[in-house]
Amino acid sequence: MALPPHQSPTGDTTAMQLHTYFRSSAAYRVRIALALKGIAWDAVPVHLLKDGGQQKAPAYRALNPIGLVPTLVDGDTVIPQSLAILEYLEETHPTPALLPAGPVARARARAMALTVACDIHPLNNLRVLSYLRGPLDQGEEAVNAWIAHWIAEGFQALEQMAEGPDFCLGGAPGLADLCLVPQMFNARRFNIDLAPYPTLVAIDAHCQTLEAFQVAAPAQQPDAA
């Protein structure tokens, strides 16, 4: 069987390992970055639903104390938190750059990425939806309204912040696009109406034409069985 393009050749013991779940939008961000930078890596699947959640297992928590995906392992270095991983990849593999030159442009890119990573995604990930359904005893209608609310709050802001038409900022894919595209995937999965966000839709569509975004997509992952 041919290995998917993002997989390092068998026996490449120097390859980075990414503990990933195909549908995790935080892991998806990192997969795009690895592909853009042409870094060889091996997937270590962490199934968020099987076995009561493999991310909660002690062996995984030894790598990632809060028990969330992704985790990057680069030799002896273990890094949790997708945005910390992206900055690490940027510092260790600077070309092609995920961040523009100059502190002002970099701040704009980070602000867009953080709008996804702090203001949308943490409210709609699995552990939070499980808490709504469990301890708060909310039905699917209330859960879906919750999801839609926080996506709308964030996307309204991002629609104003994004330049477009091809990328969030500037003429090349960067940190903001790496966060936006997985969040658009999530929004579609939850049947969010994207009509109010034409700039975001156009950026997502353009990014989807690039191989790095294609190979990083959830459906292309080995654990997407």
20 binds its own copies (CB under 8 A): no
160 binds its own copies (CB under 8 A): yes
Using CB under 8 A as the binding criterion, the count of chain residues that bind its own copies stands at 48
Identify which of residues 153 and 166 has a Cβ nearer to its own copies in the complex.
153
Identify which of residues 27 and 210 has a Cβ nearer to its own copies in the complex.
27
46 binds its own copies (CB under 8 A): no
Whole-angstrom distance, CA of residue 81 vs CA of residue 84? 5
Provide the sign of the torsion angle of the four alpha carbons 153, 157, 163, 167, taken in this order.
Answer: negative
Torsion of CA 158, 101, 204, 35, to 10 degrees: -140
Answer for the pair 116, 179: CB distance below 8 angstroms, yes or no: yes
Identify which of residues 40 and 145 has a Cβ nearer to its own copies in the complex.
145
Whole-angstrom distance, CA of residue 133 vs CA of residue 152? 21
Whole-angstrom distance, CA of residue 165 vs CA of residue 185? 18
Whole-angstrom distance, CA of residue 80 vs CA of residue 67? 9
145 binds its own copies (CB under 8 A): yes
Scanning residues 163 to 202, which ones bind its own copies (CB under 8 A)?
none
Q: From the CB of 97, what's the least distance to its own copies, in Å?
A: 14
Scanning residues 94 to 123, which ones bind its own copies (CB under 8 A)?
103-104, 106-108, 110-111, 114-115, 117-119, 121-123
Identify which of residues 11 and 139 has a Cβ nearer to its own copies in the complex.
139
Measured from the Cβ of residue 200, the count of other Cβ atoms closer than 10 Å reads 22
Listed residue (92, 96, 102) closest to 32, CA to CA: 96
Task: Please report, as ranges, the residues that interact with its own copies according to CB under 8 A.
Answer: 65-68, 77, 79-81, 83-85, 87-88, 91-92, 103-104, 106-108, 110-111, 114-115, 117-119, 121-123, 127-128, 131-132, 135-136, 138, 142, 145-146, 149, 153-154, 156-158, 160-161
